Amino acid sequence: MPAIQVDGLTKRFGETVAVDDLSFTVGSGELFGLLGPNGAGKSTLINMLVTLLRPTSGTALVDGHDVANETAAVRNSIGIVFQEQALDEELTGAENLAFHARLYGIRGEKRAERMDEILDLVGLQEQRDDQVSTYSGGMKRRLEIGRGLLHEPAVLFLDEPTTGLDARTRRDSWEYIRRLNEEAGVSVVLTTHYIEEAEQLCDRVAVVDDGRIAAIDSPSALTGAIGGDVVTLELDGPTATLRTRLDGEPWVAEVADDDSGLHVTVDHGRQRIADLVRLADDAGASVAAVDVREPNLETAFLSLTGATIAEREADAAGGRAGSAGRTDAVVGGEADR
């Protein structure tokens, strides 16, 4: 049985479609990523899967339980770690775990055993009696992840698990998440807008953009489907003629454009820079800057959506600045991630 089965899941807020007819499965024991910019619909999707939001239409089963009609069973089957910290910093690490265990009815020797297992698993046994206010950011995140596993859930949801952590702590957290997935055998669904996080952690990645899934596959398969390097030309002057000429070149695999210029997919991108500059000059466009990106999930996202994650987030930030009362800005207390 799949850990998660989603079929036609949709969520509307008035005229806004936050999640648009999504269908996918997450396998048992899989580490599954939802990759996309802030505002793509990732957190709205997660909030439906953990029963915090009711779908407008479609169905979703988590550990075999319907998210709309079996909310209690779903909640007993899952662990959740949200982006915003939810620890009581006046309590010790062990006291935070004990409080959570009581909420799930874990008592007596079983509670003590699970607390010891979790503290060992996340490497905090020696700090169990230290007040959480003395923990580093990485230790707090590990404790939260461990708390989410305390009641032995079938599925663990991690919403932007390393946002706000420094680069070293983020990489350490990846190691813990990977090890927890392997040792605890729990299915993990994480949302992220960090390309490298999805590449390093996930068995499969769903590329999420504007409430839709553009593609689902392993990071290597998504990257391999690009078919070459992506050369970005920042241009002064009209681009229509240049694009037409590029479309006619047999060595050009794909051309996409946005406000930053033209994104041209070719083999051996650095060797083709001179050809691209010549074609631009012949078309009456001046090349102001050139950037070459070898295939990775970022170029896969660009190829699938026509923009980078950073560009999508910049567009979304501009839209939020120009409008008030956006629905997705109040779901969960902040803009949907």
Q: What is the pLDDT of residues 49-84, one digit of tens each?
A: 999 999 999 999 999 999 999 999 999 999 999 888
Burial label for 248, CB within 10 Å (0-12, 13-18, 19+), is: exposed
Let me know whether 192 and 272 are in one domain. no
HSE-up of residue 52 (Cα within 13 Å, Cβ side): 13
Q: Is the pLDDT of residue 333 over 80?
A: no
Q: What is the average per-residue pLDDT within 12-36?
A: 96
**Where in the chain does DSSP place strands (E)?**
4-13, 16-26, 31-35, 57-62, 65-66, 78-81, 155-159, 187-192, 204-209, 212-217, 229-236, 252-258, 261-266, 286-293
Helix (H, G, I), strand (E, B) or coil at 282: helix
Within-domain flag for 304: no
Within a domain: residue 108?
yes
Query: Average pLDDT, stretch 82-94?
Result: 91
Q: Which domain holds residue 231?
A: 227-294
261 shares a domain with 137: no
pLDDT of residue 70: 97
* Statement to judge: residues 125 and 256 lie in one domain: no
Q: 114 and 259: one domain?
A: no
% pLDDT > 70, the chain = 93
Each residue's pLDDT tens digit, 142-197: 999 899 989 989 999 999 988 888 888 888 888 888 888 888 889 999 999 999 99
In this structure, the answer to whether residues 125 and 206 fall within a common structural domain is yes
Alpha helices (H) in 204-264, listed in sequence order: 219-224, 240-247
Pairwise CA distance, residues 155 & 51, whole Å? 13
For residue 324, the model assigns a pLDDT of 45
Please report whether residue 196 resides in a domain.
Answer: yes
Give the pLDDT band of residue 319 (cuts 50, 70, 90).
Answer: low
Q: Tell me the CATH number at 278.
A: 3.30.70.100
Average confidence (pLDDT) over 112-116: 95
Domain annotation covers residue 310? no
- How many structural domains are present in the chain? 2
10 with 91, same domain: the answer is: yes
Strand, coil or helix: 283: coil
- pLDDT at position 320, please? 57
Give the mean pLDDT of the chain: 89
| Burial of residue 129 (number of CB atoms within 10 Å: 0-12, 13-18, 19+) | exposed
Residue 267 has pLDDT above 60, yes or no: yes
CB atoms within 10 A of CB 277: 15
SS3 call for 199: helix
In the sheet where 286-293 sits, what is the strand order? 252-258, 261-266, 229-236, 286-293
Listed residue (84, 81, 63) closest to 72, CA to CA = 63
188 and 109 in one domain? Answer: yes
Handedness of CA 281, 284, 290, 294 (dihedral sign): negative
Instruction: Give pLDDT, residue 161.
Output: 87
Q: Supply the CATH number for residue 94's domain.
A: 3.40.50.300
Q: Crossing angle, helix 108-121 and helix 93-103, to 10 degrees?
A: 130
Residue 261 and residue 134 share a domain: no
For the segment 188-238, what is each residue's pLDDT rounded down to a tens digit?
Answer: 999 999 999 999 999 999 999 999 999 999 999 998 887 788 899 999 888
Tell me: pLDDT of 321 over 90: no
Is 148 in the same domain as 247?
Answer: no
Query: Residues with Cβ < 8 Å from 282, sequence gap 6 or more?
Result: 245
